[in-house]
Structure 1
Amino acid sequence: MIEPQLLIVEDEQTILFMLVTILKRESFLHIDKAGSAEEALTLCRTKSYDLILLDITLPGQSGLEVCPLIREISDASIFFLTARSTDLDKLSGFAVGADDYITKPFNPLEVAARIKAHLRRRFGNEPKTEANLFEYGPLSVNTKAGQVKLHGQPIELPAQVYQLLLFFCRHPNQLFSKSQLYEKVWGEEFFGEDNTVMVHIRKLREKIEASPSSPKFIVTVRGLGYKFIPEGGGHESA
């Protein structure tokens, strides 16, 4: 099953920690965090989300200002989280594109329940199922068999290199920084001096690229991170 992708945009660390803790206990395992409207927009440009929890009072642009901008680049559902509780405030929130409006203080378990109910209505009762086979030109990945083939020939990948490739296959054409890849694939907090991601990217390129020094599948966007190009027609970006 593909788990819902959530983004929480909240600059109050206490509230953010509480939400992340409760939502993970409620089986929402894929949660990104942003502390400002600018950071939220950057994440929405590089990743697809199913639902965004958006505070209204943010540094810089407010949630009311950034909501329409998110709508232009993402089809995620948007729930406002705010201390503004008047009828006019709520109408303003729905007017700029919110799907729900939750006032502070709130019960985080109620937030989790409303998210689950909304996602059930949006996607239906059937869970989103994960593809068993990814085929990109000469490269194929069979997740059910745990097998990778290049030009029809099986290739062996170390376990963590395989997980890295699988993550890329599930998120084609999306840009990820080293820290995002480390946190998503290894499930741990990233420390800037760690070269683990670079080493595994190199190992993966050596296995699937015709020319690892001039990669076509996994390209580097200099200064930003890496992107998987399904068609294998990518190139190194300056």
Structure 2
Amino acid sequence: MHIAILEPGRVLAESLMDWLEEAGHRYTCCSNLPEFMACIRQQGYDLLLVDFRCQTAACFEEIEAGVLNNDRRIPLLFISEPDCEEEIVLALAHGADDYIVKPLKPEELVSRIHVLIRRFAIVDEESRAEVQTYGPFVVDHQQLIITRDGEPVSLTGKDFRLADFLFRHQNQLLSRHRLLSEVWGVNQDVNTRTVDMHISRLRKALMLSGTGYEIQTVHQHGYRLQSNQNPPE
């Protein structure tokens, strides 16, 4: 497995490289964001490991662009400083699939990497049913796009996964914590505003009015994609 690392600190970078090498993984380590982005555009990686202080959504959006490489979603593990909940929320809202808080423990880090890789392998296997149709919407798992009446819907990688999960579980009440677990792969105590942010974006992007679908907010419980459509083809 080949892992791309973004780590500006020399001491921690050396530790990360040692831990990954001991676990049998190859790595490419970058010390700054432009170098990291150039690497992941030029070569395919199995996982991205990012330790970078992003203070704005724009910074995370630049990294998020890297998780789609050659039409293949690359899992992203974010390294956070202690007590940086806002940064964690931003990371999860813009492409991160899991996070780990400093100080790092090598066994936990390697374990989280393996869990992410296994989870993405399962998703890839399930996605071999490449295309599913839900009323006017077509979900293409091969191209990672959703079309509405034949027109592509502009979605981030995370928004695509959230929309796909909602369509596959239509008419079911889904709690915010379940969505965090199933879509983001996060089971820790994270502020659930990240789910609300993505649901809001999804409503605008999908333009559900008149399609037979509606994303309902169930107060204090979560969300439901209500449908009067037939089962997917």
Q: Name the TM-score, length of structure 1 as normaliser.
A: 0.45
Higher RCO, 1 or 2 (CA under 8 Å, sep at least 6)? 2
Q: Give the TM-score, by structure 2 length.
A: 0.46
